[in-house]
Structures are given as structure tokens and as C-alpha cells.
Amino acid sequence: MNKVTLAIVPLLLLTACGSESEQPLKKTNTSQSTTPTADNPEQDCGTDFSAERSLNKLEFSSIFWQVEGDRLQSKPEFRIYADKNSLGATHTLSSDNTYCLLAAHIFGSTSAQTWQSENTSSFKQGELFYYAPELIFKTALPEISSLTDWRNKGRPETLSQAIESVNLTIHYRDQDNNLITLGKGNTNTSPVTLTCNKAAFDLTLQMQPVVMSVQEQLNKAYCEEVQIGLETELHCLSASISQDTGLESCRFELTTVILPDQNANKSSAKVAGVLSFSSNMATLEIKDIKL
């Protein structure tokens, strides 16, 4: 089935407030002992490792029902990530290990890195860039077989749907605020099992006009023609996650994540932590790490 997404907010933001540090990341605590204790278990990055990052940008997409084809049906999703306005970050680190420094930089700093690999279409050697963690939540589409079926069920405007998947990706972000990943997507993204204060989202269902360029990809059983003045438009049923998600806090146990670096290399580590939500933003806190 072909993939069609009606409305995803562009990643390019032309205006931003605040500034970002261009200082290299260093360990923050060289005096604290890393000797493990019962209350402070051994970690590969020292007993005191922690990192916290503000994820300030939330985006929601509306999805149409599609005809069967070569691509999978798109699913309602919302994305939360760190863009240029994400200024909140902190970390504690007592290790000089290269991968510990990298993890602290990704999850606990907004400072710039310098691209050290060869020139690519995205970065030139010596160019500054930033790391941008992103989480994407998805649900399945509700069990509605057609537009007629939706109307027979009373035209519900909201239906509850279980959270089906959550994925974590660490992007590069250039100075124009574009999110960039190198290589195939499945080598950059890791599934994350979250335990949250709720296990489902409300989906908003509504009829929306469809642009001509995607009409052939949609399942017409969910569509109808509408007369607007002298013109005829195709309107189709859409589903999207309600922007009032109701999420407050989510926890995750040690999970393998992919960590890209300034040399265009990728490594992996296991991290555990908490994702907490407040008004129009979230905070990702890493409490444990294993290399």
C-alpha cells in the first residue's frame, strides 16, 4: 500500500530565539569516585552518569486510508524532538571514555560539534552541527471499514487507540535547523518500550479535502465528492492523534540506541531513563548507560 501523509509540519524553521554554545563537551566531575556500591551500581561511564535534554518541538500528522499497494499504510503519529530552540540540557560525567562523552553530548548538551569526516552533501569538513534526539509515537488506524461505516457508527469525532510503537532516532541538525540522518533509516532508529501513565491516545476523525497529487493513492471507500461553488473537491476521512495527548511520564529500561558521531560513524549503547511531559514540551532524562 502506498504511503500518504496529509500534513506534517516542515522541519525547517526560519526564526529562532536564544543561542547555542560552541564549546566542546568535557567531563564535569573528576573527583567523584566510580567505585560501585549497593546504592550506586557500576556503570560503564562511572557511577554518576546522567544526562537530561529538553525536547521542545511536537508535530502531529493526519493520515488517510490508502489503497493497497507496494507500501505499508501510514499510521497516525506524533513526533517530539529537539530543534534550535531547545536550550535546556545538563549532564553529569566523570569518565573520559569517548563513547560516554558522545552519549553525554547527545543526551545532555546543546553545544555544537565540528564535522570531522569528509565532505558530504549535508556537511563540509569543519562545519558546525548539533545532535537532535527524536521520539515518534504511532497508533494503528481505528477499525472503520468505509465512510459509510463511520457514519453508521454515529460519525465519532474521537476514538481511543492503543500506542502501537515508539521509536528513538538521533539526528544530526545543521545550522539551518534541518534534521539529517546518514545511511538507511533502519540503521539510525531504535524501538523503545515505554511504560507510561496511559497506554492509548485519542484519535481525531474528520473529513478533509485532498490535493489532486495524492488522490490516486487513497481508498475511495473513505471519500466523497463535495461541491464547493462551481468546483468539485474530493474530501476523505482522516485520522490524527489529538494534540492533548494526556501523557505525563514514561519510563524505559535499558534499550539499545544508535549513536552517530562527528566522523560519520555509528556506535550503540544501552540507555534507560524517563520521558516526562509538561506544557508543549518534554524532557528526556538518561539515568543509566551500558556500553
pLDDT at 226 over 50: yes
Domain ranges of the chain: 50-290
Q: Whole-angstrom Cα distance, residue 228 to residue 58?
A: 33
Q: Of the candidates 211, 209, 287, which has an alpha carbon nearest to the alpha carbon of residue 254?
A: 287
pLDDT-derived band at 16, boundaries 50, 70, 90:
very low
Window from 7-11, 115-119, 233-237 with minimum mean pLDDT: 7-11
Q: Is the pLDDT of residue 18 over 80?
A: no
pLDDT at 129 (0 to 100): 96
207's grid cell: 473529513
CA 144/CA 219 separation, integer angstroms:
12
Give which of 286, 204, 273, 217 is closest to 245, Cα–Cα: 204
Interatomic CA distance for residues 61 and 177, integer angstroms? 20
Tell the burial category of 242 from Cβ atoms under 10 Å away from its Cβ (0-12, 13-18, 19+).
middle
- How high is the pLDDT of residue 43? 55
pLDDT-above-70 percentage for the chain = 85
pLDDT band for position 279 (50/70/90)?
Answer: confident
Instruction: Indicate whether 21 pLDDT > 50.
Output: no
Helix (H, G, I), strand (E, B) or coil at 215: helix
Which among 207, 168, 160 has a CA at the least distance from the CA of 191?
168
Contacts of residue 23, defined as CB under 8 A and 6 or more positions apart, other chains included, come to: 111
Helix residue ranges per DSSP H, the chain:
98-108, 147-152
Over residues 72-83, mean pLDDT: 92
Give pTM, 2 decimals.
0.82
C-alpha span between 280 and 68 (Å, rounded): 36
pLDDT of residue 46: 81
CA distance 64 to 46: 48
Residue 259: C-alpha distances to residues 103, 190, 243, 268 (Å)? 7, 10, 29, 6
pLDDT computed for residue 187 by the predictor = 81
pLDDT tens by residue, 155-173: 999 999 999 999 999 999 9
Closest CA to 155 of 205, 225, 209: 205
91 neighbors 104 (Cβ within 8 angstroms):
yes
Name the strand (E) or helix (H) holding 274.
Answer: strand 266-278
